Amino acid sequence: LTVQANKPITNVPPNMWGIFFEDINFAADGGLYAELVKNRSFEFFAPLMGWKEVKQNKDTGHILIVNRTADNTANPRYAALTVDAPNGSYGLSNEGFRGMGITKGQQYNFSMWANAPAGTGLQARVVLLDEKDQPIGEAALSGFHDGWQPYKVSLTATGTAAKGKLQLLFKGQGSIDLDMVSLFPANTWKNRPNGLRADLAQMLADLKPGFIRFPGGCIVEGRDLANRYQWKKTVGKPEERTLIVNRWNTEFSYRSTPDYFQSFGLGFFEYFQLAEDIGAAPLPILNCGMACQFNTGEVVAMNELDPYVQDALDLIEFANGDASTKWGALRAAMGHPAPFHLTMMGVGNEQWDPQYIERYKIFEQAIKSKYPDIKLVSSAGPFSKGPMFDYLWKELKSSRADFIDEHYYMPPQWFLSNASRYDNYDRKKGPKIFAGEYAAHTKEGTEPESRNTWGSALAEAAFMTGLERNADVVQMASYAPLFAHVEAWQWRPDLIWFDNLRAVGTPNYYVQKLFSANKGTQVVPILQNGAVLAGKDSLYASATIDAAAKQVILKIVNVSAHPQSLQINLQGVQAAKGAAQQQVLTANTLAINTLDDPGKVAPVTQSITAGNRLSINAAPVSLNVIAIPYK
Ligand code: AHR
């Protein structure tokens, strides 16, 4: 194989390998968003879903759910408790999201809003319970007043539970109104209040993503327009954000998850902040006036599209405007006076109808007129074949869309045969490509993680060499979906699986990580007898140089069941003396990583002798990332 290190084809876009975040499979509430209390504001369809009344030791009382829509439109319901509990054991327990993950020695911050005109003498206990209902942490709260106000207390867990619970018990006689009953671990990502689960956020940071697409996916569209994702309802104080039913709830899911709602505690501010924390460019996707085609397929009348367009314009102001602007001021008030440097935005998701083009054009005109530098991502591009897709493709090609968003959920074989998909792409006309959602789909197995086989990841790796080789066309790519809770998933495969205490990177995660952490700065040719490697002899390859680190980086995928010995001829640079590095990812093609056995498929690093002529051993079914330092 010849590597022409001094003949750069194109720059590797800095945002090339990114993340697709969607609140599916408990990715936000019950996942990345660290809140442990389910239905904290009693706004689920069944207001006490997740809650149970607790009555012990002859103590008694009752709970009434009160709705005060006129006073509080965003969060109308609260729980009014009447307490008759001389022994201190009447109250509520919350089951969390498939239980609460509680860790011994860890501090937890409890808070609630309460109003107690007739309950000033009540005393409360906040108790953490393990799976056997044994207390593993306790704290007291008292001094309740007339008038709504927050009450807070911290407690340290004395035991660990993957499926713990929270109890809030009252002693005395009186009544108290409760809302926004909340429990967070103190050690959230960057120790932020209203924060993110640190282990999951760290796994994202470790990917070194170039961008984060947010908030999806179908969730952008919503099951109907009333339940579409509206960013303005996800910012400001958490208690003033309006909860909606998740589009992946119950009948709209492949699997039933009837308790799936969006609290928006992880909203657009938290999203921008996370992107900034981990050095990823934000890539928000906005509703284009169309609900999900797999649900109602409802579209807004053209003469009522303006508020949707205004939302897009205002989001740019929220991200980038200074404090003299309405939305910039809100961002500053939320604690981030500096801009978030938003440079791109998507309009619509998987809308494959002429109605999309009509609506997209209005967005394009408005956004490009006011913010000419904002790059626009159009909805999912013409992936399938047929007259409708030809029409969409033609329209989008002649639009000012900077990117077309292509999605591919296909069998591994498709990824292998499409490694050269963009080799002959029309580079003169036509927008760039954003491979915004992709995953190789294999057959189902019993474990939740069973579709994330090494074979699927290997096929993605082979395909990704084709993306990298064509980085002048495909400038961004993200695997999808990102997260899944092992007990609350609707879609698989997914990149990261988790339960309430643990998380595991799939083989696909390690492929993403290897590409992203070794992306280099310029693509250079890697050729076999003058031809690119896109499947011949079961080999796929791409090469980059990292000009700053002075390294040539090769990605070589061997999909055959045999080892292959490869001679590399490095041209155009002088290899430095000493060791080069080969990171190898290989396993049985059916191997998976699970929470109980997380390390079956993980990269191993070995040293190889550097030089302009290198011998590389590509193990059977392996991805090899080889970094060769040069002078
Ligand atoms: O990634 C899961 C779903 O797949 C996304 O929500 C949607 O865009 C696609 O159909």
Q: In order of start, what are the domains of the chain with their CATH numbers?
A: 2-10+523-629 (2.60.40.1180), 51-185 (2.60.120.260), 204-257+267-520 (3.20.20.80)
Per-residue confidence (pLDDT) for residue 397, from 0 to 100: 87
Name the β-bridge partners of 630.
575
Measured by CA distance, the residue closest to atom 1 of ligand 1 is: 481
Q: Is the separation of the CB atoms in 485 and 31 below 8 Å?
A: yes
Q: How far is the C-alpha of 328 from the C-alpha of 314, rounded, in Å?
A: 9
User: pLDDT tier at 502 (50, 70, 90 boundaries)?
Assistant: very high
Q: How many whole angstroms separate alpha carbon 395 and alpha carbon 404?
A: 11
Nearest CA-CA partner of 593 in 482, 480, 495: 495
| Distance in angstroms (rounded) separating the CA atoms of residues 90 and 309 | 50
* Confidence bin at 12 (pLDDT 50/70/90): very high
Q: CB of 437 closer than 6 A to ligand 1?
A: yes
Two structure tokens written together for 421: 């998909």
**Greatest CA separation found in the chain?**
87
Closest atom, ligand 1, to C-alpha of 216: 6
For ligand 1, pick from 21, 24, 479 the residue to mutate: most ligand atoms within 8 Å of CB: 24
Evaluate if residue 426 carries a pLDDT over 90.
no
Ligand 1, residue 218: give the atom nearest the CA: 6
Closest CA to 145 of 180, 118, 181: 118
Asked if residue 27 has its Cβ within 6 Å of ligand 1, the reply is no
Q: Is the pLDDT of residue 253 over 70?
A: no
Going by C-alpha positions, the residue among 404, 428, 390, 424 that lies closest to residue 477 is: 404
pTM of the model: 0.97
- Catalytic residue, chosen from 35, 239, 350, 437, is 350
Write the ipTM. Answer: 0.99
Percent of all residues in the chain with a pLDDT value above 90, rounded to a whole number: 92
Distance CA 29, CA 166 (A): 17
The per-residue pLDDT for 211 is 98
Q: For the residues 532-560, what does the mean pLDDT come to?
A: 98
Which residue has its alpha carbon closest to ligand 1 atom 6?
Answer: 217
What distance in angstroms lies between residue 629's CA and the mean position of ligand 1's atoms?
40
The residue whose CA is least distant from atom 3 of ligand 1 is 217
The identity of residue 391, as a single letter, is Y
> Treating both helix axes as pointing N-terminal to C-terminal, what angle do 306-320 and 354-370 enclose, rounded to 10 degrees?
40
579-586 and 622-629 strand pairing: antiparallel
- The ligand 1 atom at the shortest distance from the C-alpha of residue 349 is 8
pLDDT of residue 254: 66
Question: Running DSSP on this structure, what letter comes out for residue 277?
Answer: H
Whether 350 lines ligand 1, by a CB cut-off of 6 Å, is yes
> Distance, CA 418 to ligand 1 centroid (Å)?
20
Q: Is the pLDDT of residue 30 over 90?
A: yes
Identify the residue whose C-alpha is closest to ligand 1 atom 8.
217
pLDDT of residue 579: 86
Q: Would the CB of 460 count as within 6 Å of ligand 1?
A: no
Protein residue with its CA nearest to atom 4 in ligand 1: 217
Count other C-beta atoms under 10 Å from residue 447's C-beta.
16
Output the CA 217–ligand 1 centroid distance in Å.
5
Q: Is 95 considered catalytic here?
A: no
Tokens representing 206 are 């470790």
Q: Decide: 63 and 48 in contact? Cβ < 8 Å.
A: yes
Q: Which atom of ligand 1 is nearest to the CA of 409?
A: 4
Average pLDDT, the chain: 96
Mean pLDDT confidence for 593-601: 98
CA-CA distance, 226 to 474, in Å (whole number)? 34
- What Rg value do the Cα atoms of the chain yield, rounded? 26
Q: What is the DSSP string of 498-517?
A: E-SS-EEE-HHHHHHHHHHH
Ligand 1: residue whose CA is nearest its atom 5: 217
